[in-house]
């Protein structure tokens, strides 16, 4: 992103997504002493999918897909990710970062 507005928007998206994912903290890794950047790769992948999020279900699917392929397929079904998907969607919508 070359434009300052683009960088600022990306930073907003990153900050909100990071806050939601780190609060979720699957497996209590961060709470158990893992570095704060434990999920940065997954956060970046979720941020890249935000442009395609038009509902909480879209956010849930993105999180489920990303964490399933990165961490553990069996633990990150859409059902297991529905609360965090809803939280992310609501947070982005509240800040008017998605339509």
- Residue 44 pLDDT > 90, yes or no? yes
pLDDT bin (cut points 50, 70, 90) of residue 3 is low
Q: Which residues contact 78 (CB under 8 A, 6 or more apart)?
A: 60, 61, 64, 85
So where are the chain's domains?
4-94
Burial per residue of 63-76, b for 16 or more beta-carbon CB atoms within 10 angstroms, e otherwise: bbbbbbeeeeeeeb
What is the architecture of the domain spanning 4-94? Answer: Orthogonal Bundle (1.10)
Q: Give tens-digit pLDDT for 47-83.
A: 999 999 999 999 999 999 999 999 877 889 999 999 9
Q: What is the pTM of this model?
A: 0.91
Half-sphere exposure of 59 (CA within 13 A, CB side): 23
């Amino acid at each position: 992103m070359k434009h300052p507005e683009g960088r600022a928007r990306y930073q907003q998206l990153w900050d909100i997504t990071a806050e939601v994912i780190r609060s979720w903290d699957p497996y209590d890794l961060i709470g158990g002493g893992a570095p704060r950047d434990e999920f940065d790769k997954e956060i970046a992948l979720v941020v890249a999918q935000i442009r395609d999020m038009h509902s909480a279900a879209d956010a849930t699917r993105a999180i489920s897909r990303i964490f399933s392929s990165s961490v553990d397929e069996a633990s990150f079904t859409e059902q297991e990710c529905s609360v965090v998907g809803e939280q992310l969607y609501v947070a982005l919508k509240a800040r008017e970062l998605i339509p």
